Copies of this chain bind each other. A is one copy, B any other.
Amino acid sequence: MKIAIAQLNPTIGDLPGNTQQILEAAQQAVAVGARLLLTPELSLCGYPPRDLLLNPSFVTAMGTTLQKLARDLPPNLAVLVGTVEENFKANITGGKSLFNSIALLEDGQVKQVFYKRLLPTYDVFDEQRYFEPGLQANYFTLDNIDIGVTICEDLWNDEEFWGKRSYTINPIADLAILGVDLIVNLSASPYTVGKHNFREVMLRHSAVRFQQPMIYANQVGGNDDLIFDGHSFAMNRQGEIVCRARGFDTDLVIVEFDEEQHDLQLNTVAPAYEFEDEEIWQALVLGVRDYARKCRFSKIVLGLSGGIDSSLVAAIAAAALGKENVLGVLMPSPYSSEHSISDALALGENLGIKTTLLAIKEPMQSFDQTLAELFAGTEFGIAEENLQSRIRGNLLMAIANKFGYLLVSTGNKSEMAVGYCTLYGDMNGGLAVIADVPKTRVYSLCHWLNRHGEIIPQNVLIKAPSAELKPGQVDQDSLPPYEILDDILQRLIHNHQSAAQIVTAGHEPVIVDRVIQMVARAEFKRRQAPPGLKITDRAFGTGWRMPIASNWVGVKNAYQAKTIPTPTLVCGDGKDANLQSK
């Protein structure tokens, strides 16, 4: 039996468009003789639909659409479609009103519906907000083959593999006990660095442990902050990859279940990405392209400072929408270095994008004059530094508004973590392209990008990072060296380490304390940041839910806290990330 995996890229809530994608995949599947077509989790509405699910007319429309899709599908093809189903017993027995479901469509009908059993409610996932878990093992029989059905998280609780349980049950084990011939998993699993490889390793454990051939069908495409990488695959009962779809693109691949051998046969195996930088690059390009496309933008504008962050983002934007659709704006101030202009122009030439130059001296003077009386007797400081950044932010938004460009912001994760960025200034934009990319990774991506020749100008790579908001300013006036900062941030944010643990790992206590406090007090800025493309397992954004008005900075002993300075939140505190006390 030939089984087709449709690795689809749905737009959230676009029921007609997503249905059309499924119909087209079904035609292709029939053309190559497939008997069964797999589509990703919630393929009808796209994942994650979030609070659209609270809208009864949305749920009703999904039901209507599913029925019509069943009638419109070609004959002799069974199709698994991701949808939601109402929990009609919810009001009587208690529980959420929906099931995250897979519908088996065949012969013009909805033949069976399967419910997701394990509902992720961590990081960016909120499934227990909407869904009731299914209680039964899910399978169906097609041409005498018993096919077990699992949905995304249902795979992720093999206690042998993890060394612990996250949920009481393991749906794979349940299906193995039932003795199905094959297990399929329909997923919408967001990208993080190396995750596609991890999925294969994890699934191999289950395939071998339970002697089950497995097919993994994943969603692809960017939906706001989340990038789905695709990388659907199939594995035989020995845990060998027999088929792999492309990463970061739609695909339709075929895998054959051999009824004699009771196993999957070897087929096309797309190569896996060898280098993390290449993989991250592909993810970010897809994230930008899909955010723009799904929001109906064809052009991008961004500020070019001559620094490495905006250089990388310009390269990503050009790869995503085409160099002819990217406008880089140079906005020098009297504090800007000459190389800030020459480096940005060199980058623009290397990329072939359009550039334009708008000096900000005049607006700066007009603000200075307007505020002169009020600010009389005060010294140049954060207010004046931030104003420069905000004037640039205004110019970029004016261009975006005037010509219908998407403005993208260019801050990296290290900056976002410690608040070394200006709210309503360089943070402006519809999408924060590298907000989950630490500064050290920004360098590594740029070096990878230059592997065949210069794209990011050499001088951008070697000069000291600077916000250039006052004469002679460099980032390291305010921040520890980025290698040290990024290691502390990795331990703090990803590994949930305490100050004591980070110090034990070899960092200076005074620096660790300072970084921890900067991270805490930058929460108000992050709350107002645009969606940032997620590439790690702990990104700022929908999966980062921190209080702002709090007073916890990771002290070692609660009763000692009073002796440790508490962070002062300064709304709009800018590039200067020094702790201030008022």
The interface of chain A, by Cβ under 8 A from chain B, is 11-17, 19, 45-46, 48-52, 54-58, 61-62, 64-65, 68, 90-95, 121-122, 126, 128-129, 157, 163-169, 222-224, 290-291, 294-297, 356, 358-360, 362-363, 365-367, 369-371, 374-375, 378, 381-384, 386-387, 390-391, 393-395, 397-402, 404, 406-407, 423-424, 428-430, 496-501, 524, 527-531, 542, 544-552, 554-559, 561-562, 566, 568-574, 580, 582
With A56-B496, A496-B55 known as contacts, the answer to whether A552 contacts B14 (CB < 8 A) is yes
Q: Which residue of B lies closest to A381 (CB)?
A: B402
User: Smallest CB–CB gap between A485 and chain B, Å?
Assistant: 19
Q: What is the count of identical protomers in the complex? A: 2
Complex CA gap A344/B50 in Å reads 42
Indicate if the CB atoms of B551 and A294 lie closer than 8 Å.
yes
User: For residue A222, which residues in chain B have a CB less than 8 angstroms away from its CB?
Assistant: 549
Complex CA gap A498/B54 in Å reads 12
Interface centre among A290, A291, A367 (most CB of B within 10 A): A367
Interface centre among A424, A568, A574 (most CB of B within 10 A): A424
With A359-B370, A528-B529 known as contacts, the answer to whether A552 contacts B52 (CB < 8 A) is yes
With A362-B370, A398-B387, A528-B528 known as contacts, the answer to whether A294 contacts B68 (CB < 8 A) is no
Indicate if the CB atoms of B128 and A290 lie closer than 8 Å.
no
Q: Which residue of B lies closest to A553 (CB)?
A: B13
Q: Which residue of B lies closest to A580 (CB)?
A: B404
With A549-B294, A551-B17 known as contacts, the answer to whether A57 contacts B498 (CB < 8 A) is yes
Indicate if the CB atoms of A223 and B547 lie closer than 8 Å.
yes
Q: Which residue of B lies closest to A497 (CB)?
A: B57
User: For residue A17, which residues in chain B have a CB less than 8 angstroms away from its CB?
Assistant: 551
- Of B397, B529, B550, which contacts A572 at CB under 8 A? B397
Indicate if the CB atoms of A224 and B547 lie closer than 8 Å.
yes
Complex CA gap A370/B11 in Å reads 39
With A93-B168, A390-B397 known as contacts, the answer to whether A547 contacts B14 (CB < 8 A) is no
User: Smallest CB–CB gap between A362 and chain B, Å?
Assistant: 4
- Of B56, B169, B530, B547, which contacts A13 at CB under 8 A? B547
Indicate if the CB atoms of B531 and A548 lie closer than 8 Å.
yes
Complex CA gap A382/B399 in Å reads 11
Complex CA gap A106/B176 in Å reads 51
Indicate if the CB atoms of B65 and A558 lie closer than 8 Å.
yes
Indicate if the CB atoms of B362 and A366 lie closer than 8 Å.
yes
Indicate if the CB atoms of A571 and B496 lie closer than 8 Å.
no
Indicate if the CB atoms of A383 and B398 lie closer than 8 Å.
yes
User: Smallest CB–CB gap between A580 and chain B, Å?
Assistant: 8
Indicate if the CB atoms of A224 and B549 lie closer than 8 Å.
yes
User: For residue A359, which residues in chain B have a CB less than 8 angstroms away from its CB?
Assistant: 370
User: For residue A19, which residues in chain B have a CB less than 8 angstroms away from its CB?
Assistant: 558
Indicate if the CB atoms of B394 and A390 lie closer than 8 Å.
yes
User: For residue A399, which residues in chain B have a CB less than 8 angstroms away from its CB?
Assistant: 371, 374, 383
* A-B CB proximity, top 7 nearest: A13-B552, A57-B498, A91-B164, A94-B165, A294-B549, A14-B551, A383-B401
Q: Which residue of B lies closest to A582 (CB)?
A: B404
With A55-B496, A93-B168, A359-B370 known as contacts, the answer to whether A224 contacts B548 (CB < 8 A) is yes
Indicate if the CB atoms of B94 and A166 lie closer than 8 Å.
yes
Q: Which residue of B lies closest to A54 (CB)?
A: B496
- Of B129, B549, B566, which contacts A12 at CB under 8 A? B549
A-B contacts, 14 of them at CB < 8 A, read A19-B558, A55-B498, A57-B556, A58-B552, A294-B550, A367-B398, A371-B398, A383-B401, A424-B424, A430-B571, A524-B530, A527-B530, A531-B548, A542-B545
Indicate if the CB atoms of A551 and B378 lie closer than 8 Å.
no
Complex CA gap A11/B304 in Å reads 41
Indicate if the CB atoms of A401 and B572 lie closer than 8 Å.
yes
Indicate if the CB atoms of B550 and A16 lie closer than 8 Å.
no
Interface centre among A68, A90, A157, A371 (most CB of B within 10 A): A371
User: For residue A296, which residues in chain B have a CB less than 8 angstroms away from its CB?
Assistant: 566, 568-569, 582
Q: Which residue of B lies closest to A63 (CB)?
A: B558
Indicate if the CB atoms of B15 and A552 lie closer than 8 Å.
yes
With A223-B547, A356-B374, A570-B401 known as contacts, the answer to whether A524 contacts B390 (CB < 8 A) is no
User: For residue A94, which residues in chain B have a CB less than 8 angstroms away from its CB?
Assistant: 157, 165-169
User: For residue A378, which residues in chain B have a CB less than 8 angstroms away from its CB?
Assistant: 402
Interface centre among A52, A164, A406, A547 (most CB of B within 10 A): A547
Interface centre among A61, A404, A406 (most CB of B within 10 A): A61
Indicate if the CB atoms of A51 and B544 lie closer than 8 Å.
yes
Contacts A13-B552, A363-B370, A365-B366 known; list 13 others, CB within 8 Å. A11-B549, A14-B552, A15-B552, A50-B545, A93-B165, A224-B549, A295-B548, A366-B366, A367-B398, A374-B399, A375-B402, A378-B402, A397-B423
User: For residue A393, which residues in chain B have a CB less than 8 angstroms away from its CB?
Assistant: 390, 424
Complex CA gap A372/B498 in Å reads 53
User: For residue A50, which residues in chain B have a CB less than 8 angstroms away from its CB?
Assistant: 545-547
With A402-B381, A424-B394 known as contacts, the answer to whether A430 contacts B558 (CB < 8 A) is no
User: For residue A157, which residues in chain B have a CB less than 8 angstroms away from its CB?
Assistant: 94
Complex CA gap A335/B296 in Å reads 33
User: For residue A14, which residues in chain B have a CB less than 8 angstroms away from its CB?
Assistant: 550-552, 561
Q: Which residue of B lies closest to A58 (CB)?
A: B552
User: For residue A401, which residues in chain B have a CB less than 8 angstroms away from its CB?
Assistant: 381-383, 386, 570-574
With A65-B558, A402-B375 known as contacts, the answer to whether A549 contacts B223 (CB < 8 A) is yes
